[in-house]
Amino acid sequence: MKTAALILAVLAPCLALAGRPLSTEDASTLDDKACQLESWVDRTRGNVTAFFFAPACGYAGVEWQAGAARTREGGRSATSAAFVQGKHAFRSVDDGAWGVGLVAGLVRALDREVKSDWGDPYLIVPVSFGLGEDKETRALLHLNLGVTRNRAEGRNLTLWGVAVEKPVGARLALLAEVFGENSRNPFVRAGGRYALLEGFDVDLTWVTRSGGEREDRFWSLGFHWEAEGFLP
C-alpha cells in the first residue's frame, strides 16, 4: 500500500478540520459538552480509496478529537492511520473579527515499516479572519503554520495552509484551500458544503497536487454532524 501510505503521510497531520471538508484548521472550537462526528471518503485517480472517521467533543475549553483511516488498494483493505489531538481557541473567530488557537496531536501511520514508535507529534497555530460585518454572510480566511516530527525519517517538517470559505446562500458555502508541508509540492482543494439539516452538512471537493501524479488527485465526499450539549 505504498500509494495509500504516501497520501496519508501528507494528509494525516491535517486530519483536524476547519469543518468538513477543509484540511486547514480554523480558530474556533466546539462548546463544552458539545460533540461532532466527521466522516469522509477519498477516491484517487489511481484507484486508492481511503475512509476516515473522526469524532470530537468539547470539554474544559478544549476540543478533543480522535480519528482513524482505512485504505483499500489493489483488492486489499487495512486500517492505515490513527490520530488523537486537542485544540484550544485563545480567541474564537466566532466571537469577533479574528481568532487564534493552538492544535497539538499525535498521528501514527499503522502500515509503515516502523511499528514500535508512538507516532509523529505535531503542533499547528491556526489564525482566522472574518471578512465582513455580517457573521451569517461573511467570508472566513484561515491561515495555518505548524511543525511535525517524522520519526521514520528522523526530520522535522513545516506544515502550512491557507483556506477561504464563503456562504453563497442559506445552505450552500463554497470553499478553497492550498495546504501541505515544506518538502513536497502543495495540495489544492476546491468544492462546496451544503446544509441538509440543522447541524448536518454534506460536502464534495476535488483535490490535486501541483505537479503531482494520478495518485495525488482525488475526490473527497463526506459529512459533518454536530450536536450541542450532548455530554452530561
Q: What is the mean pLDDT of each run of 10 residues along the chain (232 residues)?
A: 41 52 93 93 84 93 92 81 92 96 89 64 95 92 92 87 95 95 88 95 92 81 87 65
pLDDT on residue 28? 94
DSSP secondary structure, 140-173, as one string: EEEEEEEEEEETTTTEEEEEEEEEEEEE-SSSEE
| Nearest Cα residue to 226 out of 28, 86, 13, 92 | 28
Contacts of 41 (CB under 8 A, 6+ apart): 49, 50, 51, 52, 220, 221, 222
pLDDT in tens, 124-180: 999 999 999 898 899 999 999 999 988 877 889 999 999 999 999 999 999 999 998
Question: 88 pairs with which residues across the strands?
Answer: 102
- The answer to whether 120 and 5 have CB atoms below 8 angstroms apart is no
Which pLDDT belongs to residue 17? Answer: 47
pLDDT of residue 164: 97
Domain locations in the chain as residue ranges: 2-227
Residue 188 grid coordinates: 489544492
Distance CA(12)–CA(26), nearest Å, equals: 17
- Contact (Cβ atoms closer than 8 angstroms) between residue 227 and residue 36: yes
Residue 232: per-residue pLDDT: 66
Is there a contact between 179 and 145 (Cβ–Cβ < 8 Å)? no
Superfamily of domain 2-227: monomeric porin ompg (2.40.160.40)
Residue 9: strand, helix, or coil: helix
Q: Are strands 139-150 and 35-44 parallel, antiparallel or unpaired?
A: unpaired
